[in-house]
Amino acid sequence: MQKPFIVGITGGSASGKTTFLNQLLTSFSPEDVCLISQDNYYKSREHQTTDFNGIVNFDLPSCIDHEAYAQDILKVSRGETVSRTEYTFNNPNVVPKQLEFRPAPIVVVEGIFVFYFEEIANLLDLKVYIDAKEYIKLQRRIVRDRIERGYDLDDVLYRYTNHVAPTYEKYIKPYKNDADIIIPNNHHFEKGLEVLTTFLNAKIKP
């Protein structure tokens, strides 16, 4: 099997990575692309760090089992199929799925720390950064966390101010200049999506 082309996609929390990814994946068959998301590599709650108020901070690099993440990317790139239990962000209303990551010509690696973790960044053939203004990311975060993760508004705002924003400034924004492609996503991302889709199609259909 030929070595896959590995694409890393990052950006601040609620920059629109998931929406962008969903649109990107619709342009390819499941056999052509494998998505491996950082979201499924969170350590268990007892291994997470708490802040000065005793609130668990899920927005630190130490929250992620980056060694397992890097190993699974390597395994898929070598032609192996990897199984992993979906991480459900402690939402009791969601039953976790058993995920399978299968080898494919294109492997998409997604998450807020994929440029930060050196052992993952070094595996990437292309680095894509999804960019959005702070107030837009906050609006999106409020909607997502209240609906998908069951957090109330005060909790969302607390986490954004004390966890999300500081993490972005320290661990995500400094790596923006490492990106090969920066895609603005304040209102739409169609042009950037078209460019990336065309490029990746050329990789699997030369």
Question: What is the domain count for the chain?
Answer: 1
Given a cut of 80, is residue 122 above it in pLDDT?
yes
In a domain, 60, yes or no: yes
In a domain, 53, yes or no: yes
In a domain, 205, yes or no: no
In a domain, 206, yes or no: no
In a domain, 99, yes or no: yes
pLDDT digits (tens, 9 = 90+) for 42-66: 998 888 899 999 998 999 999 999 9
pLDDT digits (tens, 9 = 90+) for 165-205: 999 999 999 999 999 999 999 888 989 999 999 999 998 87
Task: Give the global pTM.
Answer: 0.90
Query: CA-CA distance, 84 to 96, in Å (whole number)?
Result: 10
Buried b (16+ CB within 10 A) or exposed e, 24-47: beeebeeebbbbbbbbbbbbeeee
In a domain, 122, yes or no: yes
Q: Are 101 and 76 in contact (CB under 8 A)?
A: yes
In a domain, 24, yes or no: yes
pLDDT of residue 188: 84
Given a cut of 90, is residue 24 above it in pLDDT?
yes
Q: Are 39 and 50 in contact (CB under 8 A)?
A: no
pLDDT of residue 206: 60
Residue ranges making up the domain that contains 132: 5-199
In a domain, 204, yes or no: no
Give the mean model confidence (pLDDT) for residues 106-128: 97
Give how far the C-alpha of residue 32 lies from the chain's centroid of Cα atoms, to the nearest Å. 19
* Average pLDDT score over the chain: 91
Beta strands in 42-159, from DSSP E residues, in sequence order: 49-50, 56-57, 82-85, 98-101, 106-110, 126-131
Query: CA-CA distance, 144 to 55, in Å (whole number)?
Result: 19
Name residue 84's beta-bridge partners: 99
Look at the alpha carbons of 154, 138, 58, 158 in this order and tell me if their dihedral is positive or negative: negative
Domain of residue 81, CATH code: 3.40.50.300
CA-to-CA dists, residue 113 to 9, 72, 89, 172, 194, angstroms: 10, 16, 17, 7, 25
